[in-house]
Amino acid sequence: MDTNRPPSVHALATSLADTGLPHPLLVDAARQAIAAGDPESARSIAEGIEVSLLRRVINATGTLLHTNLGRAPLAVEEPAGYRNIELDLATGERGSRQSQAPTLLARACGAEAALAVNNCASAVMLVLAALAPGRDVAVSRGELVEIGGGFRIPEVLEQSGARLLEVGTTNRTRTDDYRRRMADPATDVAMILQVHQSNYKISGFTEMPTTAQLAELDVPLVADIGSGLLDAACPWLPDGPPRWLADEPAARQTLEDGASLVVFSGDKLLGGPQAGIIAGGAELVARCGRHPLARALRPGGLVLGALQRTALAYLARDGQAIPFWRMATTPVDELRARAEALGVGRVIETASVPGGGTLPTVEIPSVGVAVAGDRRAELRGAPVPIVARVEEDATICDLRTVDPTDDILLGQALEALDA
Ligand SMILES: *Cc1c(COP(=O)(O)O)cnc(C)c1O
């Protein structure tokens, strides 16, 4: 190239066609490189654009619900085609997109009805907007929390058009505190909102009413349980609930304890796609579904398809068909055998975590391979990027969050480090 004259943007972009990126993105890379006075850098800029695209990665961090990796592992392989998303195939009449996956989930957690929206934050927002507009919603001061990504209960309440009625104190709230506030003629309590302390713990001199106690009060109780554990008995696992699940609230038991509605995420312990579920009494669920916000927050066919697949696995009691549960319950011996079979790095005992802002202090015994130094950047550059973690100057790849079919790719990437 003539170094005195900058190459034309078009020529430079065309010379990068082998990257496979669409031409307009190559033009952007070429322009940026020429503007920086370094046309040669166009290729690395184009590669940077490619790396920034959404793609499959291998999660070797040991964090099962990794917020930066989309929480629960997602299985979507849908061929192009129409779906009966709002058509009743039996009658030929218009149907409801809420009649499939949400109805199956309701069946799986013992609810009369359920509704799916975009995520749990929007589920809470919709419930408040539909059931308590301009009225008071009683929340314990111990539950006025921020749950990751700027989801703050007081702010969500304000946005919904409901009024926050603070009850009790940060560390201690009793059922009588709610009673007293509700008896005050100046208040107009439409519902009690119970919010699970997903990502933090208050310990020491503490007291909080149970769901069953709050359900005895005279207004509907809505429980935001967050993680979406469907049933505390975990009937989809042959050995029942794993020990690390501890006292995580579950949808079925929260409803049995008398909550009018539960809301939870689709992509935490439920192990499905990003979604928010509102489950409980048919009349309250229907009122949420009729609110104009429900239309704005409704999920599309891809999400409903993935959610339906998850719901069917629960109903079939097939935890192995739900990637999150399959990974979370893989026996340590199996992980060790896989780590040894990689034949690279040092096999170590380690600990995975549930992640995703759930079960903040829980660790799950696991096995990984360790290599010296911080090799994360190189692993991220592998053909299928691998995300690992660093501990005490070693890079650790935890096998619990790696699908066994990816072991070969992981082994190849680790071997390439030695070269
Ligand atoms: C995670 C969580 C949310 C937010 O869920 P998203 O699906 O991320 O919107 C809300 N409430 C509780 C209690 C949670 O744990």
Per the CB < 8 A criterion, the answer to whether 353 and 363 are in contact is yes
pLDDT digits (tens, 9 = 90+) for 276-333: 999 999 999 999 999 999 999 999 999 999 999 999 999 999 999 999 999 999 999 9
**Residue 262: strand pairing partners:** 223, 279
275 CA → ligand 1 middle, Å = 10
The pLDDT score that the predictor gives to residue 335 is 98
State the pLDDT at residue 372.
96
- The stretch 74-83 carries a mean pLDDT of 81
Q: Confirm if 188 and 136 have CB atoms less than 8 A apart.
A: yes
Mean pLDDT computed over 215-229? 95
Are residues 61 and 388 in contact, defined by beta-carbon separation less than 8 angstroms? yes
- Are 114 and 275 spatial neighbours (Cβ–Cβ below 8 Å)? no
Type of residue numbered 247: D
Task: Report phi then psi at 47, rounded to 5.
Answer: -65, -35
Query: Would you state the pLDDT for residue 202?
Result: 82
| Residue 4 banded pLDDT, cuts 50, 70, 90 | low
CA 111 to CA 108: how far, in whole Å?
8
In short, whether 121's Cβ falls inside 6 Å of ligand 1 is: yes
What is the reported pLDDT for 357?
A: 80
- For ligand 1, pick from 151, 156, 159 the residue to mutate: most ligand atoms within 8 Å of CB: 151
Q: Which pLDDT does position 247 carry in this prediction?
A: 86
Rounded percentage of the chain residues whose pLDDT exceeds 90: 89
Residue 199, pLDDT > 80, answer no
What amino acid is encoded at 202 in this protein? I
User: Which atom of ligand 1 lies closest to the CA of 197?
Assistant: 13
Q: Where are the alpha helices (DSSP H) in 161-256?
A: 175-183, 211-215, 251-256
Q: How many CB atoms lie within 10 A of CB 297?
A: 21
User: 103 CA to middle of ligand 1, Å?
Assistant: 21
- The preferred substitution site among 68, 198, 199, 208 for testing ligand 1, maximizing ligand atoms within 8 Å of CB, is 198
The region of weakest confidence among 45-54, 77-86, 309-318, 375-384 is 77-86
Ligand 1 midpoint to CA 3 (Å): 56
Say what the pLDDT of residue 78 is.
74
Burial of 216 (0-12, 13-18, 19+ CB in 10 A): exposed
Which protein residue has the closest C-alpha to ligand 1 atom 13?
Answer: 226
Strand stretches in 8-135, DSSP E: 58-59, 63-65, 113-117
Among protein residues, the one whose CA lies closest to atom 12 of ligand 1 = 226
Mean pLDDT within 330-350: 97
Residue 419 has pLDDT above 90, yes or no: no
Q: Ligand 1, atom 5: nearest CA belongs to which residue?
A: 120
Give the pLDDT confidence of 355-379 residue by residue, as tens digits: 988 888 899 999 999 999 999 999 9
Residue 147: pLDDT above 90?
no
Cβ(198) – ligand 1 distance below 6 Å: yes
Q: Token match 């849908």: residue?
A: 78
> Of all protein residues, whose CA lies closest to atom 1 belonging to ligand 1?
226
Average pLDDT over residues 217-232: 95
**Nearest atom of ligand 1 to the alpha carbon of 274:** 7
> Residue 35 phi/psi, 5° resolution?
-60, -30
Q: In whole numbers, what is the pLDDT of the chain averaged over residues?
A: 94
Atom of ligand 1 nearest to the CA of 198: 15
3 vs 73, higher pLDDT? 73
Binding site membership of 196 for ligand 1 (Cβ less than 6 Å): yes
Report CA(93)–ligand 1 centroid distance (Å).
35
Residue 60 class from Cβ within 10 Å (0-12 exposed, 13-18 middle, 19+ buried)? buried
Confirm if 225 and 195 have CB atoms less than 8 A apart. no
| Cβ-contact 86, 96 below 8 angstroms | yes
Handedness of CA 124, 129, 130, 135 (dihedral sign): positive
Lookup result for tokens 């990637």 = 323
Q: What is the mean pLDDT of residues 96-117?
A: 96
**Cα 23 to Cα 41: distance, rounded to the nearest angstrom:** 17
Q: Does the CB atom of residue 119 touch ligand 1 within 6 A? A: yes
- pLDDT band at residue 393, thresholds of 50, 70 and 90? very high
Handedness of CA 213, 354, 324, 383 (dihedral sign): positive
218 CA to centre of ligand 1 in angstroms: 26
Out of 51-55, 62-66, 239-243, which region has the weakest mean confidence (pLDDT)?
51-55
Atom of ligand 1 nearest to the CA of 275: 7
- Res 396: pLDDT: 98
Find the 328 Cα to ligand 1 centroid distance in Å. Answer: 20
